[in-house]
Chains A and B, each alone.
Chain A
Amino acid sequence: MSGGMLMAGQRTTHNRARRRLSRIGLYIFLTVLAFIFLWPMLYALYTSLRPYGELVANANGAFSLPKTLSLNNYFEVWNNSNLVQYFWNTGVITIPAVLLTLWISSMLAFAISRYKWRFNLIVLMIFTAGNLLPPQVIIVPLYRLYLLIPVPAPLSDNGLMYDQFIGLILIHTTFQTGFCTFVLSNYMKTLSMELVEAAMIDGAGVFTIYLRVVLPLVRPALAALATLLFVWIYNDFFWALMLFKSGGKRPITAALNNLSGTFFTDPTQLAALSVIAAVPTIVLYLILQRYFISGLTLGSAKG
């Protein structure tokens, strides 16, 4: 009897030790993984703090150990690169694009998820298929199209879509709407249909149901998507490069490109600007990381 208890006790201790060991292993693995992911960021931070001369003088270049560390590169890029303008440009593109995308896709998702309609599936398939299209494929026809579409005065200063904020806002909206519609319609499908029916009986019309019943309930999904969209659109470089002629209208990511010249690039300043440019997304991510993570799994499981 007591022997049995002893054995059971030993087994528990043994199990506990094993669990502890596997936990330690897990933490080592996670730490290494985190370091691998953080490495480019930390390396940029490190490089940004070193004077350019030191990198040139040392045979190992950017991989050498530092003699001096300073914030000089930051002051220099801030003073020389007109960053306020670039940040402003990014804001003018990103914020309306995020809002417009969420507005359009939430209305579409509402129609697709809540109403029986002959073309439901086809519409959803087109949106999803459009999502699979790499943007680079359409750049030539899009570029030609942007030179042909007339846009009236307050929205465009050259009468075209090309080289205008509106052009960039619309192309971002177009490309993101498919994904957002897909996610939001899946999320809306998890809401009880009886809720919409109750509102119908209460006297609500279609728009009231959308605005006052469904939209408040998909707020978590909207927040998650807003976070994702902000990061994606903020980080865009491709469309900004292709659809803007004037450097002064380009977003912050394009400003980074301005720093790399044909014959000469200062990696320390480029690193400093990269760090500055990354700050808003990092801050936003830290504030909204809860939504960001839920956004990645959104629509995959019933809410």
Chain B
Amino acid sequence: MATVTFENVTKRFGDVIAVDDLNLDIRDAEFMVLVGPSGCGKTTSLRMIAGLEEITSGTMRIGERIINDIPPKDRDIAMVFQSYALYPHMTIRDNLAFGLKLRHVPKVQIEARVKEAAAILDLTRYIDRKPRELSGGQRQRVALGRAIVREPAVFLMDEPLSNLDAKLRVETRANILRLHQRLNTTFVYVTHDQIEAMTMGSRIAVMNEGRLQQVGTPQELYDRPINRFVAGFIGSPAMNFISVEVGGSGDGITLTAPNVTIPIPPQFRESIGGPGRTLIAGYRPEHLVLGPLGGSTAVVNAKAEVVEYLGNEELIHASCADRDIVAIVDSAYRVRPGDMLELRVPLEKIQLFDPDTNFALSFGAVIA
């Protein structure tokens, strides 16, 4: 059993608060992804689990054990670094065995574990080579291998794919997931890439400016983002936002902005407040539909400016009353720059945010 728990954990570097009062429970055998833009505190949080950064205040546990003052080597963790950090002067075999030798594991056992890890990661052929003789992908696998042989309670990974090319990244992503299923151990994975986070995480913790924004499954974050930051960060291309005004009354309440008309989405009927209130409406590019759509919909009129053809679909950069929006539509429409478009969004896909707090409207009560 290896859960990882942050209890009111804060980390300061001088006057800068890198991680601010973090509370997070990482479950046993879970694949937890910490995601956020650069400087959001995700790597610092990971390094605090590893013991490479001291905690300024709060309590940190692995399982039931408080690890605040326990050195990295005694935390029963292994870490894969962004630069892989392989020992350049050692062969792959020695790189894999180094940690075990330092722990005085019997020789026979070291040999067996190194062999097994090399086999799992398809490194057996390179075992007597030095890291510089391997390709980026192979080095990355050695870094994984070094973590595997240790059989730790928690795997920590700090952007392990960021130095690989796009094709290898997709491949390795699947390999890491396979590894997770096979080892059935807790993984904590840091990335700035929301696609990596969405595809890999059992749960995702989104961070920004040192603060945890939301924790949830990829689907939860995508469907019900807690605030504007999470809504904009999760999903690619990012969600479109427009400022709308509440008008009308009763069943006739609408949200309006230049070139946009949105009947009141049923899920917001209670929380929307009185007429005259300004809100932020958000809708994802992939939820915009060109052409007829059944049910009640919001209508967005826009002028196509740039069209990126992607084969099965088209990415359209359009302007809607001087505001740039992005839409993804079926490529069968063959939209051309300059075309006037009538785009529709199903009402249930609309998100509303309070412009003062930036929280999602439906979550307002929960947060306050």
Contact = CB atoms under 8 A, between A and B. Distances in A.
B79 A198 contact: yes
Interface in A121-140: none
A192 B72 CA distance: 18
Most buried by B among A194, A202, A203, A217: A202
A242 B192 CA distance: 65
Contact of A200 (B52, B86, B88, B103): B52
Nearest to B150: A202
Given A202-B99, A203-B102, A204-B102, A194 B73 contact: no
B222 interface: no
Contacts of A217: 88-89
B102 A201 contact: no
A216 to B, nearest CB: 4
A205 to B, nearest CB: 8
B87 A201 contact: no
A69 interface: no
Interface residues of B, number: 23
B66 interface: no
B73 A202 contact: yes
A195 B102 contact: no
B83 A194 contact: yes
Contacts of B86: 198
A201 B50 contact: yes
A270 B82 CA distance: 62
Contacts of A208: 102
Interface in B138-152: 146, 150
Contacts of B146: 198, 202
Interface string A201-222: 1111000100001001100000
Nearest to A196: B85
B126 interface: no
Contacts of B83: 192, 194
A203 B82 contact: no
Contacts of A195: 85, 87
B139 to A, nearest CB: 13
Contacts of B85: 192, 194-195, 197-198
A200 B72 contact: yes
B98 interface: yes
B88 A201 contact: no
Most buried by A among B72, B77, B150: B72
Interface residues of A, number: 15
Interface in A275-290: none
Contacts of A202: 73, 98-99, 102, 146, 150
Contacts of B88: 217
A66 B73 CA distance: 75
Q: Which of B81, B85, B99 has the most CB of A within 10 A?
A: B85
B78 interface: yes
Interface in A16-35: none
A193 to B, nearest CB: 9
Name which of A192, A195, A201 has the most chain B CB atoms within 10 A of its CB.
Answer: A201
Interface in B34-84: 50-52, 71-73, 77-79, 81-83
B69 to A, nearest CB: 15
A200 B51 CA distance: 9
Contacts of A203: 73, 99, 102-103
A198 B50 CA distance: 10
A201 B81 CA distance: 11
A199 B77 CA distance: 13
Interface in A167-201: 192, 194-195, 197-201
B77 A201 contact: yes
Nearest to B82: A194
A213 B87 contact: yes
Nearest to A198: B85
B100 to A, nearest CB: 9
Contact of A201 (B78, B82, B89): B78
B81 A198 contact: yes
Nearest to A195: B85
Interface string B90-127: 00000000110011000000000000000000000000
B145 to A, nearest CB: 13
B52 A197 contact: yes
A192 B83 CA distance: 9
A189 B125 CA distance: 33
Contacts of B87: 195, 198-199, 213
Contacts of A199: 87, 98
A185 B152 CA distance: 34
Contacts of A201: 50-52, 72-73, 77-79, 99
A230 to B, nearest CB: 24
A203 B51 CA distance: 12
A73 B82 CA distance: 66
Interface of A: 192, 194-195, 197-204, 208, 213, 216-217
26 contacts: A194-B83, A194-B85, A197-B50, A197-B85, A198-B85, A198-B86, A198-B146, A199-B87, A199-B98, A200-B51, A200-B52, A200-B72, A200-B73, A201-B51, A201-B52, A201-B73, A201-B78, A202-B146, A203-B73, A203-B99, A204-B98, A208-B102, A213-B87, A216-B89, A217-B88, A217-B89
Given A199-B98, A203-B103, 8 more contacts: A192-B85, A197-B52, A198-B86, A200-B72, A201-B73, A202-B150, A204-B73, A216-B89
